[in-house]
Amino acid sequence: MSENYLEQYLRELIDTAKEYLAEKKPGEFWVSDLISCPHKYIMAQKYPEILLGHTLDNNLVLGDIIHTGFESFLAGRGFMIEVEKEVKIGNNTIKGRIDALSEDGLRVIEIKSGKDVKNPPSPHHVLQVYIYMAMTGAVIGKIVYLTYGRLVEVEITKDHILEALRQIGAPRNLSQPNTEWLKEYVEWWTNRAPKPLWPWECDYCPFASLCPYRKSNGNRR
Ligand code: SF4
């Protein structure tokens, strides 16, 4: 029987997800954790199998393929891609995997895929890019939306990040995206009550059926 390349590709996705879950240690937060409900982080530690079960969701698989394609374009324009970055904040370690970082470290690009995006940039994406900027010292952050409904590139501004922080009730006294700001943000996030950051978050949460703090607003985007 000939080799099945799709199966090999999907198997690699599962193995990568397993490694990611196995590597997670207490006090270690990925940027994706920091832009989400803090209780989701706790649920992911209790029930990693639930996250693993979502690995082969069609949208995630297609999103991975779209990322690979645009990252390869950016690599041809001199960007470093899938850059792993780690920053120590007190006893915590913040880890991020940045889609694309310019060689001079000044520009961060995040790629988003999916069905569509309303009013880009979405506040949780803005927050993600701002954290990457704080971790790397980059001064320009961009989000490239490669969705079925819209293909658009947006540069994030101070107003975008202030609006994102306002929506989640986080401290808004920022000057620059730097480690001082990140420290303050991580302290706020780790001390936050177990509730969703965003009004739509429980509607998309893989742990919703088990979570005592679930709030459902029927806000699926
Ligand atoms: S269901 Fe809501 S409150 Fe519970 S972990 Fe998920 S996002 Fe957080």
Q: Report the separation in Å between the CA atom of 45 and the middle of ligand 1, taken as the mean of its atom positions.
A: 13
Model pLDDT, residue 219:
52
Cα–ligand 1 centroid distance for 68 (angstroms): 30
pLDDT class of 165 with cuts at 50, 70, 90: very high
For the stretch 176-220, pLDDT in tens is: 899 999 999 999 999 998 889 999 999 999 999 999 999 875 555
**For the segment 63-90, what is each residue's pLDDT rounded down to a tens digit?**
999 999 999 999 999 999 999 999 999 8
Closest listed residue to residue 84, CA positions, set 3, 30, 18:
30
- Cβ of 36 closer than 6 Å to ligand 1, yes or no, is no
Q: How far is CA 100 from the centre of its chain?
A: 13
Q: How far apart are CA 14 and CA 219, in angstroms?
A: 30
89 - beta bridge partners?
Answer: 92
pLDDT > 90 fraction of the chain, expressed in percent and rounded:
81
Confidence of residue 7 (pLDDT cuts 50, 70, 90): very high
Question: Average pLDDT in the 125-130 region?
Answer: 98
Q: Is 201 in the pocket of ligand 1 (CB under 6 A)?
A: yes
Whole-Å CA distances, 203 to 53, 121, 183, 200, 217 = 17, 20, 29, 6, 7
* pLDDT tens column, 23-44: 888 889 999 999 999 999 999 9
Whole-angstrom Cα distance, residue 42 to residue 78? 38
Amino acid code (one letter) for 26: P
Atom 7 of ligand 1: nearest residue by CA position: 202
Q: Which residues contact 59 (CB under 8 A, 6 or more apart)?
A: 113, 114, 115
Is the pLDDT score of 173 beyond 80? yes
Q: Which domains does the chain have, with CATH numbers?
A: 5-210 (3.90.320.10)
Please give the pLDDT value at position 220: 53
